[in-house]
Chain A
Amino acid sequence: MPMIDIQAVSKWYGPQFQVLKDCTTAVQKGEVVVVCGPSGSGKSTLIKCVNALEPFQSGAIHVDGINLQDPSTNLPKLRARIGMVFQHFELFPHLKITENLCLAQEKVLGRSRDEAMAKATALLERVGLEAHSHKFPGELSGGQQQRVAIARALAMDPIAMLFDEPTSALDPEMITEVLDVMVELAREGMTMMVVTHEMGFARKVAHRVIFMDKGEIIEDRPKDEFFGTPRSERAQVFLSKILAH
């Protein structure tokens, strides 16, 4: 059984505009899948559907065997098991770094203060930011904030991690520090679905690459095949554009 199973998902904004067209794919346990494609292709929307942050009108998504659209599904409980990292970090600016990491651990998982703090400290150490634990998010650089955001997601002991363009809002010199954390995570066997344009990251750790355009999944193939000879013309054009420089 795949960890994330996406079956014929379609989504419309209003009656006319279809953002997702019949998307079907799956992510196995321990698999790293990179989703790429031109902007507006629906890749961010698709990944937000996986933890039900975006509703969709037809099709079905199962996470760890649980149907997202089943009315009896406890969505907050399910979301707590899926980590998500956003393009703009979305740390809570009114809370210190440690509080950012502890809030959901205590309120959702019911961990004690000590347990939550121990977990937070360990994870901050892991992303190399233990020295900043008592600062506010606004006092950190973009790269540091994104590493905190990854630590915040990991604090919930997720069964899978979703990344929505995690490096797109970063200055070039900060991209590496975030990718390093992600590469390490991938090598430890975390199940990951990553929307990104970082083809270097895809080459290094992805098992599969999904290419989307205009709301459709055009290619869904093992990494080497995808980078070797993309079958579709659209993927070829896309790759030549982003790999040109």
Chain B
Amino acid sequence: MISGFDFDVLWRSLPYLFRDGMSFTLMLTALSALGGLVLGTLLALMRLSNMKVLGAIATGYVNLMRSLPLVLVIFWFYFLVPYLGQIITGSERPMVVGAFSSALITFTLFEAAYFSEIMRAGIQSIPKGQVSAGYALGLTYRQVTSYIVLPQALRNMLPVILTQTIVLFQDTSLVYVLSITDFLGAASKVAQRDGRLIEMYLFAALVYFVISFAASRLVRALQAKTAIIR
């Protein structure tokens, strides 16, 4: 069976797969992880704040996002956001939202729900005495949060955050439902065009595996390095 394999198709499509496909995948992963982390941290702070309303809003948001299938959210955003934009801006036509922007917004909003739970656990792992010590020195809530709580929470949670980002890296392949050329999309286009489904999908799987596996090994090594001595 291996004799029927066409390795040449792989070789020929490599530039397209990586320059067009993988760069999109990595860009989407990095930007939505960053956006998700920022938004997720805000949600976590809202959830832990004394203001009940803020907490309720954040909790509602997180529960909603975690109860919906990701593919549905991707679809929903791609098809509804242009109309939402139209209503908000009051223009005559649906707003033009590019596929990349749409995917980026979707993943940022979706990942924020997961990152907020990670950051919440990270913030809660900081001993209460640390916060008291900050206040006792005259720091304000904002200063205690940004100089004492968040740096420690981020560092404690870094391995989990990176692991979640690896999951996100795999999840970004779902944008194929929008016919976007991410790595899997590119592989699948070549597969259809040249009738080389087995080669292309096996190769795609191999690439995802190698990158994800290497990344989780790196995370493990990093984990040992960044642990704060207490």
Contact = CB atoms under 8 A, between A and B. Distances in A.
A82 B137 CA distance: 8
B148 interface: yes
B140 interface: yes
B138 A79 contact: yes
B54 interface: no
Interface residues of A, number: 30
Contact of A107 (B133, B136, B139, B228): B139
Interface string B130-146: 10111111111001000
Contact of B136 (A79, A109, A136, A139): A79
Contacts of B152: 92-94
B69 interface: no
Interface of A: 48, 51, 53, 76-84, 86, 88, 90-94, 103-104, 107-109, 136, 138-139, 152-153, 156
Contacts of A86: 129, 132-133, 136
B230 interface: yes
Given A84-B133, A92-B148, A94-B155, 12 more contacts: A51-B136, A53-B135, A53-B136, A77-B138, A79-B138, A82-B136, A86-B133, A90-B133, A92-B130, A108-B138, A139-B229, A156-B137
B130 to A, nearest CB: 6
Nearest to A87: B129
Question: Which 6 pairs across A and B sit closest by C-beta, in order of nearness?
Answer: A80-B138, A138-B229, A90-B133, A104-B137, A84-B136, A108-B138
A77 B135 CA distance: 10
27 contacts: A48-B132, A51-B136, A53-B132, A53-B135, A53-B136, A76-B139, A76-B140, A77-B138, A79-B138, A80-B138, A84-B136, A86-B136, A90-B127, A90-B133, A92-B130, A92-B148, A94-B151, A103-B137, A103-B139, A104-B138, A104-B139, A107-B143, A108-B138, A108-B139, A136-B228, A136-B229, A138-B230
Given A94-B155, A103-B147, A138-B229, A79 B132 contact: no
Nearest to B132: A53
B228 A108 contact: no
Q: Which of A76, A82, A109 has most B Cβ within 10 Å?
A: A76
Interface in B209-230: 228-230
B228 A93 contact: yes
Interface of B: 127, 129-130, 132-140, 143, 147-148, 151-152, 155, 228-230
Nearest to B143: A107
B137 to A, nearest CB: 4
A221 B127 CA distance: 36
Nearest to B154: A94
B43 to A, nearest CB: 23
Contact of A152 (B137, B147, B151, B230): B137
Given A103-B147, A138-B229, A138-B230, A80 B137 contact: yes
A109 B143 CA distance: 13
Contacts of A94: 151-152, 155, 228
A94 B129 CA distance: 15
Given A51-B136, A53-B136, A107 B147 contact: yes
Contacts of B130: 90, 92
Given A88-B129, A90-B130, A94-B151, A76 B138 contact: yes
A76 B129 CA distance: 16
Contacts of B155: 94
A225 B64 CA distance: 66
A64 B129 CA distance: 25
Given A53-B132, A103-B147, A108 B229 contact: no
Contacts of B135: 53, 76, 79
Contacts of B228: 93-94, 136, 138
A82 B135 CA distance: 11
Contacts of B230: 93, 138
